[in-house]
Amino acid sequence: MAEPKKKKGNKPSASKPARENDLFAGDDVADELDSEEVVETNGDAPSLTTHPHASGPLGRMMDDNFLQYASYVICERAIPSLVDGFKPVQRRIMHALFEKDDGRFIKVANVVGHTMQYHPHGDASIGDALVTLTNKGYLIEGQGNFGNIFTGNAAAAPRYIECRLTELARREVFNKDLTEFIPSYDGRNKEPVVLPTKLPLLLMLGAEGIAVGLSTRILPHNFVELIEAQICIMQKKPFEVFPDFPQGGLMDTRGMVDGNGSARVRACIDTKRAGALVINELPAATTTESLITGIEEAIRKHNLPIKSISDFTAETVEIELTLNAGADPAATVKALYAYTGCETTVSSHIVVIHKGHPVEMTVPDILRENTRQLEETLQLELMHRRDQLGEEINAKTLVEIFVEERIYKRIEECKTAEAVRQAVLEGFEPFKKRLRRPITDEDVEMLLGIRIRRISRFDLEKNHRDIEKLLEELATVEKNLASLRRYVISYLRGLLKTYGKDYPRHTKITSFDQVKIKELAAGEFDIAYDRESGYLGYQTEGEALLACSRYDKLLLVWSDGRYKVIKPPEKLFVDKDMIYCAVADRDHVFTMAYKHDLFVFLKRFTFGGSITDRDYRCAADPATVLLFEEGTPKDIFVKYKPSKRQRIHQQHFNPEDVAVKGVKAMGNHMTGKAISKIATTQPRWWKEDEASPRGRFS
pLDDT for 384 equals: 96
Q: In whole angstroms, what is the distance from residue 638 CA to residue 28 CA?
A: 90
Q: In whole angstroms, what is the distance from residue 96 CA to residue 100 CA?
A: 6
Phi, psi of 118 (to 5 degrees): -110, -25
| Mean pLDDT to the nearest integer, 644-668 | 90
Give pLDDT tens digits for 365-409: 999 999 999 999 999 999 999 999 999 999 999 998 988 888 888
| Mean pLDDT to the nearest integer, 490-510 | 95
* pLDDT over 60 (residue 49): no
pTM: 0.73
Handedness of CA 235, 236, 239, 245 (dihedral sign): positive
Q: How confident is the model at residue 62 (pLDDT cuts 50, 70, 90)?
A: confident
> Is residue 82 within 8 Å of 363, Cβ to Cβ?
no
Helix (H) or strand (E) holding 162: strand 162-165
Residues 6 or more apart whose CB falls under 8 angstroms from that of 455 comprise 403, 408
- Going from the N-terminus, what domains does the chain have, and what CATH number goes with each? 268-341 (3.30.1360.40), 381-502 (1.10.268.10), 517-679 (2.120.10.90)
Of 104-108, 116-120, 183-187, 519-523, the range with the lowest mean pLDDT is 519-523
pLDDT for 13 equals: 40
* pLDDT over 60 (residue 552): yes
Active site residue 337: no
In order of 116, 390, 443, 449, 677, the CA distances from 424 in angstroms are 50, 21, 10, 13, 131
User: Distance from CA of residue 160 to its chain's centroid?
Assistant: 33
| Mean pLDDT to the nearest integer, 337-342 | 91
Q: In whole angstroms, what is the distance from residue 277 CA to residue 377 CA?
A: 51
* pLDDT over 60 (residue 41): no
Residues 6 or more apart whose CB falls under 8 angstroms from that of 670 comprise 593, 599, 600, 601, 602, 653, 695, 697
Q: Which residues of 384-414 are buried (b: 16+ CB within 10 A; e: fewer)?
A: ebbeebeeebbeebbbbbbbeeebbebbeee
Helix (H) or strand (E) holding 582: strand 578-583
| Mean pLDDT to the nearest integer, 349-365 | 92
Q: How confident is the model at residue 600 (pLDDT cuts 50, 70, 90)?
A: very high
Report the SS3 class of residue 81: strand
Residues 6 or more apart whose CB falls under 8 angstroms from that of 493 comprise 231
| Helix 363-404, helix 441-448: angle, nearest 10 | 60
Phi, psi of 547 (to 5 degrees): -110, 140
Percent of the chain scoring above 70 in pLDDT: 90
> Is residue 85 within 8 Å of 197, Cβ to Cβ?
yes
* pLDDT over 50 (residue 46): no
> Is residue 221 within 8 Å of 241, Cβ to Cβ?
yes
> Is residue 508 within 8 Å of 520, Cβ to Cβ?
no
Residue of higher predicted confidence among 595 and 6? 595
Q: Exposed (0-12), middle (13-18) or buried (19+): which is 415, by Cβ within 10 Å?
A: exposed
Give pLDDT tens digits for 70-127: 776 777 778 899 999 999 999 999 999 999 999 999 999 999 999 999 998 889 999 9
Catalytic annotation, pick one of 72, 160, 487, 529: 160
pLDDT for 72 equals: 65
> Is residue 219 within 8 Å of 349, Cβ to Cβ?
no
Residue of higher predicted confidence among 533 and 41? 533
DSSP assignments along 615-676, one per residue: -EESSPSS-EEEEEEES--S-EEEEEPP-TT----EEEE-GGGSPEEETT---EEEESSPEE
Report the SS3 class of residue 546: strand
Percent of the chain scoring above 90 in pLDDT: 63
* pLDDT over 60 (residue 515): yes
Residue of higher predicted confidence among 537 and 41? 537
Residues linked to residue 37 through DSSP beta bridges, in sequence order: 50
| Mean pLDDT to the nearest integer, 607-615 | 91
Q: In whole angstroms, what is the distance from residue 50 CA to residue 67 CA?
A: 22
| Helix 223-234, helix 484-499: angle, nearest 10 | 160
Handedness of CA 82, 88, 91, 95 (dihedral sign): positive
Q: In whole angstroms, what is the distance from residue 38 CA to residue 57 CA?
A: 20
3-state SS of 85-110?
CCCHHHHHHHHHHHHHCCCCCEEHHH
| Nearest CA among 638, 69, 237 for reference residue 77 | 69
In order of 337, 589, 664, the CA distances from 566 in angstroms are 28, 19, 19
In order of 244, 507, 535, the CA distances from 268 in angstroms are 15, 10, 45
Residues belonging to the chain: 698
| Mean pLDDT to the nearest integer, 338-346 | 92
* pLDDT over 60 (residue 29): no
